[in-house]
A = this chain, B = another copy of it.
Amino acid sequence: MVSQWFNTEADIDLIRLRGTVVVIEAFQMLCPGCVSHGLPQAQAIHDMFPRDQVSVIGLHSVFEHHAAMTPTSLEAFLHEYRIAFPVGVDREGEGASPQTMAAYEMRGTPTLVLIDCKGNRRAQYFGQVQDLRIGYDIATLLNETNVVPVQDVPANTDEVTGDDSGCRAPLR
């Protein structure tokens, strides 16, 4: 139920994403909570996981200010905010809400939807949701199937991921 795609060469079909956990970030480009929280979170998920395990998709679900959030405006927004994952335009519906938003009974934006490797919708969060929770959910969904090999936790070695606010011990 997408009328137009950005950031992808071919249209995206959820059925062809089976075998991966699918993260759908429903947003509106003029929704402050989407800009400050939802989209950066989706981008972080997109950056962290390999494509054959997790598929992140944006969904532009406009339910207000339709004339202000056209596909033309969206394209400029995605460019300026450097959104790298595919984004679909949720197809206009009969009421104010677009079709996917209505079908999923979303309460507003941002809404983050998690779909498991078999294609079942398993979680749906409206508003801000913690990264700890989403990381936990994705791992749980990846682990319950054997469709893809699960990325192991890092080996028993130090991994320097710190900035300079950490305190480094003297060399031994």
Contact = CB atoms under 8 A, between A and B. Distances in A.
Interface of A: 28, 30-37, 44-45, 48, 63-65, 67-70, 72-77, 79-81, 95-97, 101-102, 105-111, 114, 121-141, 143-144, 150-163, 165-170, 172
A32 B79 CA distance: 11
Given A123-B155, A134-B135, A135-B137, 8 more contacts: A63-B170, A73-B73, A123-B153, A123-B154, A129-B159, A130-B131, A135-B138, A136-B151
Contact of A124 (B44, B138, B158, B166): B158
Instruction: Describe A's contact surface by its main secondary structure.
Output: mixed
A68 to B, nearest CB: 3
Given A136-B136, A143-B143, A33 B109 contact: no
A53 to B, nearest CB: 11
A80 B32 contact: yes
A166 B132 contact: no
A169 B101 contact: yes
B72 A166 contact: no
A155 B121 CA distance: 9
